[in-house]
Amino acid sequence: MAQPAFIPPDQLARVVVSADQIARRNRELGERIAGLYAGRELTIMAVLTGAMIFLADLIRQIPLQMRLDVVSISSYPGTATRSQGVRWQLPLSADLSGRHVLIVDDIVETGRTLEAMTDEIGQMAPASLRTCVLLRKQRPDLTRRHEPDLVGFDVPDEFVVGYGLDYDNLYRNVPEICVLRQHAETPR
Protein backbone atom coordinates (compact mmCIF):
# COMPACT_ATOMS: atom_id res chain seq x y z
CA MET A 1 0.00 0.00 0.00
CA ALA A 2 1.20 3.55 -0.75
CA GLN A 3 2.60 5.53 2.19
CA PRO A 4 0.42 8.45 3.30
CA ALA A 5 1.71 11.68 1.70
CA PHE A 6 0.46 15.26 1.51
CA ILE A 7 1.49 15.29 -2.15
CA PRO A 8 2.03 12.07 -4.14
CA PRO A 9 5.84 11.88 -4.52
CA ASP A 10 5.61 11.69 -8.32
CA GLN A 11 3.74 15.04 -8.39
CA LEU A 12 6.13 17.03 -6.17
CA ALA A 13 8.94 18.90 -7.96
CA ARG A 14 10.52 20.52 -4.88
CA VAL A 15 10.00 22.26 -1.54
CA VAL A 16 10.60 26.02 -1.80
CA VAL A 17 10.07 27.02 1.85
CA SER A 18 10.11 24.44 4.68
CA ALA A 19 7.67 24.29 7.60
CA ASP A 20 10.52 25.20 10.00
CA GLN A 21 11.47 28.26 7.96
CA ILE A 22 7.83 29.38 7.92
CA ALA A 23 7.47 28.93 11.71
CA ARG A 24 10.65 30.93 12.36
CA ARG A 25 9.62 33.73 10.01
CA ASN A 26 6.13 33.91 11.53
CA ARG A 27 7.71 34.55 14.93
CA GLU A 28 9.84 37.35 13.44
CA LEU A 29 6.87 38.89 11.62
CA GLY A 30 4.77 38.69 14.78
CA GLU A 31 7.46 40.55 16.72
CA ARG A 32 7.74 43.20 14.00
CA ILE A 33 3.98 43.70 13.94
CA ALA A 34 3.70 43.82 17.74
CA GLY A 35 6.36 46.56 17.70
CA LEU A 36 4.66 48.55 14.93
CA TYR A 37 1.29 48.57 16.71
CA ALA A 38 2.40 48.61 20.37
CA GLY A 39 -0.22 50.24 22.57
CA ARG A 40 -2.80 50.22 19.76
CA GLU A 41 -5.72 48.00 18.88
CA LEU A 42 -4.98 46.21 15.61
CA THR A 43 -7.52 45.11 12.99
CA ILE A 44 -6.39 42.26 10.76
CA MET A 45 -8.17 42.01 7.41
CA ALA A 46 -7.35 38.63 5.91
CA VAL A 47 -7.82 37.59 2.30
CA LEU A 48 -9.32 34.11 2.13
CA THR A 49 -9.00 31.35 1.20
CA GLY A 50 -5.25 31.17 0.58
CA ALA A 51 -4.18 33.17 3.67
CA MET A 52 -6.09 31.06 6.20
CA ILE A 53 -3.21 28.93 7.49
CA PHE A 54 -0.71 31.80 7.52
CA LEU A 55 -3.33 33.94 9.28
CA ALA A 56 -3.99 31.33 11.97
CA ASP A 57 -0.28 30.91 12.73
CA LEU A 58 0.67 34.60 12.43
CA ILE A 59 -1.98 36.10 14.70
CA ARG A 60 -0.94 33.80 17.56
CA GLN A 61 2.52 35.42 17.35
CA ILE A 62 1.09 38.93 17.86
CA PRO A 63 0.47 39.68 21.56
CA LEU A 64 -1.86 42.67 21.05
CA GLN A 65 -5.54 43.40 21.40
CA MET A 66 -6.83 42.49 17.97
CA ARG A 67 -9.95 42.34 15.81
CA LEU A 68 -10.16 39.93 12.90
CA ASP A 69 -12.14 40.37 9.67
CA VAL A 70 -12.02 38.43 6.41
CA VAL A 71 -12.82 38.90 2.75
CA SER A 72 -12.78 36.26 0.07
CA ILE A 73 -11.16 37.01 -3.26
CA SER A 74 -10.41 34.64 -6.10
CA SER A 75 -7.77 35.42 -8.72
CA TYR A 76 -6.87 31.89 -9.74
CA PRO A 77 -10.18 30.06 -10.18
CA GLY A 78 -10.00 26.29 -10.73
CA THR A 79 -6.92 25.17 -12.59
CA ALA A 80 -5.66 28.64 -13.62
CA THR A 81 -1.98 29.23 -12.86
CA ARG A 82 -1.90 32.87 -13.99
CA SER A 83 -3.98 35.58 -12.31
CA GLN A 84 -7.43 35.97 -13.90
CA GLY A 85 -8.06 39.33 -12.22
CA VAL A 86 -9.71 40.12 -8.90
CA ARG A 87 -13.13 38.53 -8.18
CA TRP A 88 -14.76 39.43 -4.86
CA GLN A 89 -16.72 36.56 -3.38
CA LEU A 90 -17.23 37.76 0.17
CA PRO A 91 -17.56 41.54 0.23
CA LEU A 92 -15.93 43.90 2.65
CA SER A 93 -18.60 44.60 5.26
CA ALA A 94 -16.65 45.75 8.32
CA ASP A 95 -16.52 49.47 9.19
CA LEU A 96 -12.80 50.19 9.29
CA SER A 97 -12.87 53.96 9.85
CA GLY A 98 -10.44 55.01 12.55
CA ARG A 99 -8.96 51.49 12.78
CA HIS A 100 -5.33 50.45 12.43
CA VAL A 101 -5.73 47.93 9.62
CA LEU A 102 -3.23 45.30 8.52
CA ILE A 103 -4.20 43.37 5.40
CA VAL A 104 -2.86 39.79 5.45
CA ASP A 105 -2.58 37.74 2.25
CA ASP A 106 -0.77 34.58 1.21
CA ILE A 107 1.18 35.79 -1.83
CA VAL A 108 1.59 38.88 -3.99
CA GLU A 109 2.14 38.36 -7.69
CA THR A 110 0.87 41.20 -9.92
CA GLY A 111 -0.21 43.20 -6.85
CA ARG A 112 -3.78 43.58 -8.13
CA THR A 113 -5.37 41.93 -5.09
CA LEU A 114 -3.53 44.19 -2.64
CA GLU A 115 -4.30 47.20 -4.84
CA ALA A 116 -8.03 46.41 -4.82
CA MET A 117 -7.95 45.87 -1.05
CA THR A 118 -5.99 49.03 -0.24
CA ASP A 119 -8.20 51.09 -2.60
CA GLU A 120 -11.41 49.83 -0.95
CA ILE A 121 -10.18 50.11 2.63
CA GLY A 122 -8.39 53.42 1.99
CA GLN A 123 -11.81 54.94 1.22
CA MET A 124 -13.07 53.97 4.68
CA ALA A 125 -10.67 56.40 6.37
CA PRO A 126 -8.70 53.92 8.52
CA ALA A 127 -6.28 55.41 11.08
CA SER A 128 -3.49 53.49 9.30
CA LEU A 129 -3.24 50.85 6.60
CA ARG A 130 -0.45 48.35 5.95
CA THR A 131 -0.11 45.06 4.09
CA CYS A 132 1.62 41.79 5.02
CA VAL A 133 2.14 38.77 2.75
CA LEU A 134 3.84 35.47 3.44
CA LEU A 135 5.25 35.25 -0.08
CA ARG A 136 6.30 37.73 -2.75
CA LYS A 137 6.68 36.29 -6.23
CA GLN A 138 9.70 37.53 -8.14
CA ARG A 139 8.32 39.19 -11.28
CA PRO A 140 11.09 41.48 -12.58
CA ASP A 141 9.03 41.95 -15.76
CA LEU A 142 6.39 44.04 -13.95
CA THR A 143 6.19 47.06 -11.66
CA ARG A 144 3.63 46.73 -8.86
CA ARG A 145 1.62 49.78 -7.89
CA HIS A 146 1.53 48.42 -4.34
CA GLU A 147 4.49 46.68 -2.69
CA PRO A 148 3.62 44.94 0.61
CA ASP A 149 4.96 46.55 3.81
CA LEU A 150 5.87 43.19 5.38
CA VAL A 151 7.06 40.11 3.46
CA GLY A 152 7.84 36.61 4.72
CA PHE A 153 9.81 35.20 1.77
CA ASP A 154 10.67 36.06 -1.82
CA VAL A 155 9.93 33.09 -4.07
CA PRO A 156 10.80 32.39 -7.71
CA ASP A 157 8.27 33.02 -10.48
CA GLU A 158 6.65 29.60 -10.37
CA PHE A 159 3.19 28.45 -9.30
CA VAL A 160 3.44 27.36 -5.66
CA VAL A 161 1.08 25.35 -3.43
CA GLY A 162 0.86 24.41 0.23
CA TYR A 163 0.38 26.16 3.59
CA GLY A 164 -3.04 27.41 2.44
CA LEU A 165 -2.20 27.92 -1.26
CA ASP A 166 -4.04 25.65 -3.66
CA TYR A 167 -4.13 24.26 -7.15
CA ASP A 168 -7.77 23.59 -8.06
CA ASN A 169 -8.55 23.67 -4.30
CA LEU A 170 -6.03 20.89 -3.58
CA TYR A 171 -2.85 20.92 -1.42
CA ARG A 172 -3.92 23.62 1.08
CA ASN A 173 -3.06 21.23 3.95
CA VAL A 174 0.56 20.70 2.83
CA PRO A 175 2.79 22.03 5.67
CA GLU A 176 5.43 23.60 3.38
CA ILE A 177 5.50 25.73 0.21
CA CYS A 178 6.08 23.51 -2.83
CA VAL A 179 6.26 23.52 -6.61
CA LEU A 180 4.38 20.74 -8.36
CA ARG A 181 6.11 18.79 -11.08
CA GLN A 182 3.55 19.86 -13.69
CA HIS A 183 4.17 23.54 -12.77
CA ALA A 184 7.94 23.60 -12.56
CA GLU A 185 8.86 26.28 -15.14
CA THR A 186 5.30 27.49 -15.75
CA PRO A 187 5.01 28.63 -19.37
CA ARG A 188 4.04 32.29 -19.68
Q: Cβ 132 to Mg ion, closest distance in Å? A: 13
**Cβ within 8 Å of residue 70, ≥6 positions away:** 45, 46, 47, 48, 90
Cα distance between residue 167 and residue 160, in whole Å: 8
164 binding Mg ion? (CB under 5 A):
no
Instruction: Please choose which of Mg ion, ligand 5GP, none residue 180 contacts, taking the beta carbon within 5 to 8 angstroms, the exact cut-off set by kind.
Output: none
How many other CB atoms are found less than 10 A from the CB of residue 173? Answer: 12
110 binding ligand 5GP? (CB under 6 A):
yes
Neighbour order of strands in the sheet with 12-17 = 12-17, 177-180, 160-161
Q: Cβ 97 to ligand 5GP, closest distance in Å? A: 25
Cα distance between residue 93 and residue 41, in whole Å: 19
Binding mask 34-53 vs Mg ion (x if CB under 5 A, - otherwise)? ----------------x---
Residues at the site binding Mg ion, with contacts judged by CB under 5 A: 50
Question: Which residues contact ligand 5GP (rule: CB under 6 A)?
Answer: 47, 50, 75-76, 83, 105-113, 137, 159-161, 165-166
